[in-house]
Amino acid sequence: MKRIPIPLVATLILVFVIGTGIGAAPLFFYLRTHDRTALRFGYTILFPERFFYSAEDFVALSGTLTGPDQTYPNNTYSIGCYRDRRECWLASIEEIQPHTLGQMAAPIAYQITSWSDTQIVAVSDANACKQVVLTIDRAGRSLSWIEQPTSPPKNFCTDSDASTKNYSLEDSPGWKELKQRSGAQQKF
């Protein structure tokens, strides 16, 4: 049987005992104030801050994909790279409107083209008109994501954006705001 947290039980009992008049009003105002505080920070879903882990044969990183022309800037991406499999796997999810997450994307495989103690490069051609190149700087604990048109361009890609875009993996917008307000430094 699943246990209900004691603060929740106490709150529910208090509201029930006192009734809907005086007892429910403070709870209502607390919830409304809490909701407005989250909106004041400019986000409604707080995704985790950037993370990086590196071992000899495995690298894991996650964070918010940041760069030009993003439809949903509040997002989180998770990448795991496996040396023995020669592939990186990526999954993501985005806040598509306040308090609403989009569909979690199916994991995408990226083929590792090079692996060293300092850098990993992986490529995906999952999109027929764009190629994505991930470059993981192990020493700098960072990711460079380059999205570029396929070469040579395919006939059906005539309406596709032909520009090259550069992205990076950063803290989520909410974490950036919280760190800026508190003056906190990056943990790693």
Q: For 138-188, write each residue's pLDDT tens digit.
A: 999 999 999 988 877 677 777 778 889 999 999 988 888 888 888 765 554
Q: 74, 173 in Cβ contact below 8 A?
A: yes
CATH no. for residue 120? 2.40.160
Do residue 33 and residue 58 come from a single domain?
no
Specify the number of domains making up the chain: 2
Beta-carbon count within 10 A of 49 CB: 21
Do residue 30 and residue 112 come from a single domain?
no
Do residue 34 and residue 64 come from a single domain?
no
CA distance 181 to 2: 38
* DSSP class of 155: G
- Model pTM? 0.73
Q: 178, 41 in Cβ contact below 8 A?
A: yes
Q: Show the domain range for 127.
A: 51-178
Would residue 187 count as lying in a domain?
Answer: no
Would residue 111 count as lying in a domain?
Answer: yes
Q: Which of 36-40, 104-108, 138-142 is predicted with the least confidence, judged by mean pLDDT?
A: 36-40
